[in-house]
Structure 1
Amino acid sequence: MKRDKKFANIKNKIQNLKKRKTTPNEKKRQVQYNEDDDIIHSSEEEFEVSAEQLAKTADDDDEKVIRDASEVVEQKEEEEKLTAAEKRVLNAKQFLDNLKQYEEDKEDQDEYNQMLNEQDPIAQALKREALKAKKQIPSSYHKYLEELDFKDEGVVTFLKGHKKPPTCISLDNTNSQQLKGFSVGKDGCIINWDFNKGSKISITKKAHDNLEILSCALSFDGNILATGGKDCKIRLWDTKTMKQIDVLDGHFKPVTSLAFQMGHLSNITGSSNNSSYAYQLYSGSMDRTVKVWDAKECSFVDTLYGHESEVQGIDTMITPHALSCGSDATLRYWKVEDETQLIYKSSTTKYSIDCMKMLRENCFLSGSQDGSLSLWLKTKKKPISHFPSAHGGEWITSVGALRFSDIAASGSSDGYMKLWRCDPNTKVLQLKNNIPMAGFINSIEFNSNGQFLAAAIGQEHRLGRWSRRPQAKNGIAIVKLLSEETIEKAKLDPSNNYVKHSDRDNEYDDFAGDEEEEDDSGNFFL
């Protein structure tokens, strides 16, 4: 209907132009100048513009409109003479031509993006560091975890510091020889730890106006610490002086989770302190939003909407993507630059997903309030492995992952931390060992080479007081997993299978062969 109306308008325009013979009289002003550019004579005379003169003086655009309109009208008249079958064939040919043109344009754009990526030294450095970090973790690592006896003296060290339950811990991975980090707690304090010596470097009290601190994250170079709490604010700290750098306002409910973009740019001269990309910070809140910040510039970047309830956790790795979980029982994978999200929802549980961690860019582990653990691939809308009642029916309060490996840990309040092998190839969650640990395990972190594990232990859950374990102690547990000699021995194991990477964009994905699939209900892509 609209198409016929358009053709009718074009016909009328052509007819009107052909009928037009003359235009209204117009005045032409003639001006003469002397050598000094002064006006010495001026006169006006009337003249009439004929249709022939109009056609000669018409600009190219009008002529093109008339020519194109005539072609369209002729094409429509020809189409009216075609049978229904011939019209279908014609439409199919036009569709194929359009599709071919689209593919050519897309190929040109991909080549252009690849050229830009090859010229970006920061992106290349992040890729090199990702590969370097991955090769530090042998695939036979899990075999040696089975042999450990965590009841031996010196394997688990407990450090006291917080007067109330600690809620989160973040390790400094800039130096694998020195184990340092930060912890925050319900007492409103930030403690800077030297775990090698088992001592506190500094204590910052009333860091969030004496309110509870629920989350913390450390930048890739260890220079900036971000903390979030019940004051609904994110505070940035200089880790060398523990002086507050700035306050990021934006959330209107408590900040439950924080995560810095992962990456090391020290091998680029002058780039490590100038790249905002490496200081990208993600925050999740009870206000149901995920926000993106530039911690270097102390500025807001974007707000990501989608969760229908409180955001419980957030994580990220090398690429500018983030993974979040919430009380709406969903995981959401945010493609920040594309402004899209992937939604993951398990058919086996409808309870809140309280915690998750990324093992690789495309593989992650989640824990739910019903006590189950789930292993996910980015390309699958449902978990590839599900382990119900992983902690005897108690809800999962935290999970930790050894980056670029298949090793993870889960915590609850059943008296044990559990070590798992998460193998996406066999699609199996395999329990490897149990670590006795009384109380609520509120946060778990591995150091970069998998030699140590740190956990924040409290008498209460980090977000509330629904239950209490009075026999537990508030503090930080340091678990020695493997010695340097054992790790080197594991690297020489002939069963190791290091994944070879290409120079393509899916370089970070070890299982990129599967295509992203769309949910039947259409809720996988948004």
Structure 2
Amino acid sequence: AEDGEAKVHKRFTPKLNEEISSDSETESVGRNKKDAEDLEIEETAQEKKLRLAKLYLEQLRREEEEKAEEEQLESDLIGGRLQEEVLEQKGKLKRLLAKDYLPPDLSEIRLLRGHQLPVTCLVLSSDDKYIFSASKDGSIIKWDLSCGKKIHTIHGGRKGTEDRHVGPILSMAISSDGKYLATGDKNKLILIWDPAKCQHLHTFKGHKDAVSGLSFRKSTHQLFSASHDRSVKVWNVDQNAYVETLFGHQDAITGLDSLSRERCVTAGGRDRTVRVWKIVEEAQLVFHGHESSIDCIQLINEEYMISGADDGSLALWTVTKKKPLVMVRTAHGIHGDPGIQQPNWITSVTALLNSDLVASGSHDSKIRLWKCGEGFKTLEPLFDIPMVGFVNSLKFSGSGDFLVAGMGQEHRLGRWWRLKEAKNGIYIIPLKKMENKQQSGDSK
């Protein structure tokens, strides 16, 4: 059996290992060529249509692959935008833009006049087409941002008027879809308007003192209001309904802001606290740091905010720490005679949403722009914009191309003193940026 197995093994080994002679190779090639010709004749007769169909399908497959690659590229671009939106929702998107801004050309600044008394508050529509401003004279004006023309004026009403403000308007907010405009006044009322037609829709009553802060939650018609009665109220504007009241501040609330989350932030004036109100959790976070009355507050994104006080201090906060990340004292200098000098109050703050650019206003004849440093742990001055009067309201356009200032001869919340040289009005400040910065950097 062993010999038999060996013989079988030897019998097959030469076929596996031996080289084929040239004669055999020629003979094999000739045979293969003949076989191929026979196959071609057979294919031409029977399978030509199938072969052409396969070629067509292969062409379609290649075209589909190219199309899929293009779609994937487009999907990646859309995915990047969606990722930005998700980060924005979470409050974690941060655009580093401040370093690109340059001092504006002062000759390009426009003044819009229309209010008789100091401008107290203003908002921009989300498409940056319109400005809505309000004043101590009780009037509301809708402006065209591009040409600076007045589109509509809602004059203040006389005592007993139901669909107009009687007396100073202190706060204003517009919904992100532009469907509702809300205004709050010294007489405890919140009026809801149709911004397109400038028509009165509804009046909310409930606060027991002046309404000093208003904000719509982003992409909703949920409205937050703050008052000198120390409370925050929540309203459903679609239903013309009151929702709830939040208590905690120990003094008049002077400012309020909100973004996408179901929460708002407030400045507590003389109780010297900043508070974050978590609506769903029915909780509030209390932040301490300012040593004087906190008069204004603005969210930079969902995680960080900036506040200003009447001792001249500016503070940057994160919602995860109870103390400021950084505080700049006498951010707008001091005034008065030697020995009785006082810091210039911070009267307004604003931020270019989800970026490192913020601005502050006072009554020291300038608006100051700042860069938030890494981790929001520093606040570095960029440049000043000359502006005479009380800077009662500041807003960046969504694009960051403009800064709009609401100016007055008096502070929005009182008449402590008057700057006669100031003009009551709206200033539109075109902002300049470094051009082709990226290209010049790449070329190096």
**TM-score after normalising by structure 1:** 0.63
Aligned partner of 2:115 in structure 1 is 162
Aligned partner of 1:334 in structure 2 is 277
In structure 2, C-alpha distance between the alignment counterparts of 1:379 and 1:233, rounded to whole Å: 34
Cα 1:200–1:130 change in 2 (3 A) is farther
Percent identity of the aligned residues?
Answer: 39
Alignment match of 2:85 (pick from 115, 125, 128): 128
In structure 2, C-alpha distance between the alignment counterparts of 1:220 and 1:161, rounded to whole Å: 25
1:493 is displaced (CA, Å) by 8.7
Cα 1:182–1:300 change in 2 (3 A) is same
1:182 is displaced (CA, Å) by 0.2
In structure 1, C-alpha distance between the alignment counterparts of 2:321 and 2:90, rounded to whole Å: 26
Which runs of 5 or more structure 2 residues have no equivalent in the other structure? 1-81, 158-163, 334-342
SS at match of 1:425: helix
Aligned partner of 1:286 in structure 2 is 228
1:179 is displaced (CA, Å) by 3.0
Q: Would you say 1:230 and 2:186 are equivalent positions? A: yes
1:332-411 paired onto structure 2 within 5 Å: 332-346=275-289, 349-392=290-333, 393-411=343-361
Moved more, 292-301 or 408-417: 292-301
In structure 2, C-alpha distance between the alignment counterparts of 1:493 and 1:129, rounded to whole Å: 31
1:482 is displaced (CA, Å) by 3.2
Q: Deviations over 1:398-448 (max 9, x none)?
A: 001110001100000000000011235161000001000000000001111
Runs of 4+ deviating beyond 2 Å: 125-138, 147-151, 207-210, 489-495
**TM-score after normalising by structure 2:** 0.74
Contact 1:138 1:490 in 2 (8 A): no
Letter in 2 for 1:148: P
SS at match of 2:375: coil
In structure 1, C-alpha distance between the alignment counterparts of 2:367 and 2:264, rounded to whole Å: 26
Q: Would you say 1:305 and 2:247 are equivalent positions? A: yes
Q: Would you say 1:318 and 2:260 are equivalent positions? A: yes
Q: Would you say 1:433 and 2:433 are equivalent positions? A: no
1:143 is displaced (CA, Å) by 1.8
Q: Deviations over 1:288-331 (max 9, x none)?
A: 00001111111111111000000000000111110001121000
Cα 1:376–1:209 change in 2 (3 A) is closer
Aligned partner of 1:253 in structure 2 is 209
In structure 2, C-alpha distance between the alignment counterparts of 1:372 and 1:225, rounded to whole Å: 31
Answer with 1 or 2: which has the greater Rg. Answer: 2
Letter in 2 for 1:161: G
Which runs of 5 or more structure 1 residues have no equivalent in the other structure? 1-124, 264-277, 496-526
Contact 2:95 2:356 in 1 (8 A): no
1:134-173 paired onto structure 2 within 5 Å: 138-139=95-96, 141-145=97-101, 147-151=102-106, 153-154=107-108, 156-173=109-126
Letter in 1 for 2:295: D
In structure 2, C-alpha distance between the alignment counterparts of 1:358 and 1:134, rounded to whole Å: 10
How many residue pairs get aligned? The number is 346
Cα 1:248–1:491 change in 2 (3 A) is farther
Q: Would you say 1:183 and 2:138 are equivalent positions? A: no
SS at match of 2:344: coil
Contact 1:373 1:386 in 2 (8 A): yes
